[in-house]
Amino acid sequence: MTAMVRKAGGPVRKTPAPGAVRAGQSLGARLVEAVGGGVLRVFLIVVGLFWLVPTIGLLLSSLRAPREMSASGWWTVFGRPSQLTFDSYRRLLENSEITHSLLNTVLITVPATVLVVVVGSLAGYAFAWLEFPGRDWWFLAVVGLLVVPVQVALIPIAELFGKVGLFGSVLGVILFHAGFGLPFAVFLLRNFFAEIPRELLEAARLDGAGELRLFARVVMPLGGPAIASLAVFQFLWVWNDMLIALVFTRSGTQPITVALQTQVRQFGNNIDVLAPGAFISMVIPLAVFFAFQRQFVSGVMAGAVK
Amino acid sequence: MKSATAAGTPPVPARSRSRKSVTGTRTVVAALFLLPALVLLGALVVYPIGYSIVRSFCNASGDRFAGLDNYRALFTDSGIRTALKNNVIWVVFAPTVATALGLIFAVLTERVRWGTAFKLVVFMPMAISMLAAGIIFRLVYDQDPDKGVANAVWVGVHDTFAPSSAFPRAHPGRNSPLVPDRGGFITSATVRVGQPVSLPLVGVAPDRMPKDAKRAVRAEPEPGKVTGTTWQDFTRGRGVGRLGEVDPSELGYAGMRIEAVKDGRVVASTKAAADGTFTLPAQADGARLRLPADNFREPYGGVDWLGPSLVTPAIIGSYVWMWAGFAMVLIAAGLAGVPRELLEAARVDGANEWQVFRRVTVPLLAPVLAVVVVTLMINVLKIFDLVYIIAPGSSQDDANVLALELYRKGFSEGRPDIASAIAVFLLLLVVPVMLFNMRRLRREVR
């Protein structure tokens, strides 16, 4: 598993073009290959378009007036670019419910990510380098929790939060995300920390570092790549969540996903809110994705069990 | 683990010793490091499991033991049964399709220089929320071919092969010589050579008239031919046009198909010119003229993607759009580890590309494929957002899945007992994977 994480960061191995090795082949074979290569390229371009078009459709829809949208398809923009307008965005950003929910998304996502990283690192370090009875069994138990569906906890935690007054609060949502983010965090970080060379830790120890210092000055910096993967993964996970927030927030604390979801029932009428809203909610995850592709990919790989 | 082995230490027993605490810390310190994680996990993950199990055996208000009633409801309640059935469809199709596509993409992108760019495009949907993906696909699947891109493409393809007619809703006016026949219209009298025929209809909206339609012209008699005019017998404004007569501003039905029918057999056929005139050969003499049904077919409206029968496959399509990239990236990483020499050896032995793929690449990738499929299955088991967002209210019951039913039962229908039973059922389904993960890790850890 850890080996996989490391591999993900490495450069993609280049393959020699098929046929490059076989110089002495017949003209016919080479012709077949050239045609095949052309077909392959066309196929991949078509598939690529297939993957891009839905998102482009959303983007262009968000840039048209609702009046235009009920009359014709977004692709008419290419014929009449004059219909493009930022009006929907302008109105959306004046909509205090939406802007407030965007703020809530940040208020939920950032602490939930930090909490998981910190708590997960502490536990990962303990599982990797500290000694206590039944250490590996405890770790196994945590690994067992990796695949527990969040649905199992919705009703019990709703009742629990109701009793302790956390229901509807941002803190409750953060805690829930932390709880369900932790098994993966502990799993990933423990495996990564365990590969830190022992000599490094011993050297620090000889310099008189205590356990906490060792953790903060040696383990955390060396664990950087894994922590980055975890942070990116967790950030996207929480930012993109709808179900948990749907259950545990109320109108003042709901994130953007929940705020938009209330509009979906009258899809046609609310498209001028939904399209730009969805696009705004995608901007940050996409930025994070493009900036930290490598970390995201290795996080996804390590999380292949979640 | 790997580092220990690489360091050249002897296997099993020494391994765990090699990670002994460097500081010789007391257990108390270890407990402090673990405490936050254990509290959160205990309260938010472990406790709910126990609670759900207990709750699933109680009645709705939670004050009485209900035995297996809630579990029985899983298999008797028709809503839950639809959800179960759909979940099975999801679990069977979504992971396999996504993995198959991922495999194809991973293998093919190795052969083009811009493979990385392609992968980025296919992988990108993984970064966005299911809510956003849901909204994206609500737009894609819009029923109106003028708005939803899926139907726009589909109708485009369909009309290329079966063009829709230009005259939907056209029908005979008052005192018309035409009567309905097999979805089209036929003259009640037979036609004669040299006597121009009038085939007037009304009811085609002005903006639906063929673009090349010209002003209708009264057909001249021709020796040995049956001639006539078919046109829109309607002039805007009260009492302006004369019924059954070609008036100055009336348009011909350009392209209208006309058949001459004798004894139920078509003996001749033609198409009207831009001014609505047509000419039939002498065989048409004594026949009745029919405007066949395909002139009047309603334009093809496309597929009802989000209707009751297609809604689940349509949503699965959007899931595959999101997750094929995941499969592709994992498989590509596995592919990078496949020794090239093996593939080359097979090619040198005369295997073609398909055989290499089928007999060498796929078997070597089997472990990765298994991981991908299992991961996606677990993921699909819990599918909620996409169904909740994409399925319109009218077909949400048909698209129902367990996670959605759990949410409805627990939070809008006030049945936390049944919801808990669904939760426990979902948990039971992932237990084998849970045990598998633990076993695999136990081998590694110790």
What's the complex ipTM? 0.84
- Which pLDDT tens digit goes with each residue over B418-446? 899 999 999 998 898 888 888 877 776 55
pLDDT at B14: 37
Reply yes or no on whether the pLDDT at B20 is more than 60. Answer: no
- Residues in chain B closer than 8 A to A129 (CB atoms): 19, 21-22
Quick one: three-class SS letters along chain B?
CHHHHHCCCCCHHHHHHHCCCCCCCCHHHHHHHHHHHHHHHHHHHHHHHHHHHHHCCECCCCCCECCCHHHHHHHHCHHHHHHHHHHHHHHHHHHHHHHHHHHHHHHHHCCCCCHHHHHHHHHHHHHCCHHHHHHHHHHHCCCCCCCCHHHHHHHHHHHHHCCCCCCCCCECCCCCCEEEECCEEEECCCCCCCCCEEEEEECCCHHHCCCCCCECCCCCCCCCCEEEEEEECCCCCCCCCCCCCCCCCCEECCCCEEEEEECCEEEEEEECCCCCEEEECHHHCCCEEEECHHHCCCCCCCCCCCCCCCHHHHHHHHHHHHHHHHHHHHHHHHHHCCCHHHHHHHHHCCCCHHHHHHHHHHHHHHHHHHHHHHHHHHHHHCCCHHHHHHCCHHHHHHHCCHHHHHHHHHHCCCCHHHHHHHHHHHHHHHHHHHHHHHHHHHHHHC
Instruction: For B108-141, give one letter per residue: b (16+ CB within 10 A) or e.
Output: bbbbbeebeebbbbbbbbbbbbbbbbbbbbbbbb
Contact B20 A143 (CB under 8 A): no
User: Is the Cβ–Cβ distance between A277 and A260 less than 8 Å?
Assistant: yes
Which chain A residue is nearest to residue B441, measuring alpha carbons?
A: A140
Chain A residues within 8 A of B435 when measuring between CB atoms:
144
* pLDDT given for residue A5 in this prediction: 37
Give yes or no for residue B352 having a pLDDT over 50.
yes
pLDDT of residue A30: 66
What per-residue confidence (pLDDT) applies to A18?
Answer: 47
> pLDDT tens digits for A218-271?
888 888 888 988 998 899 999 999 999 999 998 888 999 998 888 887 777 778
Q: Looking at the partner chain, which of B21, B44, B138 has a beta carbon nearest the beta carbon of A179? A: B44
Mean pLDDT of A293-299: 80
Task: Tell me which DSSP letter residue A266 carries.
Answer: G
Q: Which of B1, B12, B17, B19 to mutate to test the interface with A (most CBs of A within 10 A)?
A: B19
Mean pLDDT, chain A, whole residue set: 82
- For the cut 90, the answer to whether the pLDDT of residue B299 exceeds it is no
CB spacing of A194 vs B441 below 8 angstroms = no
Q: Which residues of B touch A51 (CB under 8 A)?
A: 121-122, 124-125, 321
For the cut 50, the answer to whether the pLDDT of residue A1 exceeds it is no
**H-run or E-run covering A163:** helix A151-164
Distance in angstroms (rounded) separating the CA atoms of residues B138 and B395: 13
pLDDT digits (tens, 9 = 90+) for B380-402: 998 999 999 998 888 888 889 99
What pLDDT digit, counting tens, does each position of A111-163 carry? 999 999 999 999 998 888 887 888 888 888 888 888 899 999 999 999 899 89
CA atoms of B431 and B48, how far apart (whole Å): 16
pLDDT tens for each residue of B266-297: 888 888 888 888 988 888 888 888 888 877 77
Q: Give me chain B's average pLDDT, please.
A: 82
Asked whether the beta carbons of B249 and B215 are under 8 A apart, the reply is yes
* CA A267 from centroid of its chain's CA atoms: 26
What the block records as the tokens of A63 is 């840039």
Tell me whether residues A179 and B378 touch, CB distance under 8 A: no
Mean pLDDT of B199-220: 81
Contact between B128 and A257 under an 8 Å Cβ cutoff? The reply is: no
pLDDT of residue B242: 75
Note the pLDDT of residue B237. 66
- Return the amino acid letter for A120: G
Contacting residues of B for A158, CB less than 8 Å apart: 410-411
CATH topology of domain B70-150+313-327+367-445: MetI-like fold (1.10.3720)
Please tell me the predicted confidence (pLDDT) of residue A32.
65
> Token pair 């939803």 is at which residue?
B148
Q: Which of A132, A206, A233, A241 to mutate to test the interface with B (most CBs of B within 10 A)?
A: A132
Give the HSE-up count for residue B322: Cα atoms under 13 Å, Cβ half-sphere: 26
**Residue pLDDT, tens place only, A64-94:** 887 777 777 788 878 777 778 888 888 888 8
Give pLDDT, residue A26.
Answer: 63
Domains contained in chain A, CATH given: 95-302 (1.10.3720.10)
Contact between A206 and A212 under an 8 Å Cβ cutoff? The reply is no
pLDDT score recorded for residue B272: 87
- Rounded Cα–Cα distance for residues A120 and B30 (Å): 14
Domain ranges for chain B: 2-44, 70-150+313-327+367-445, 178-295
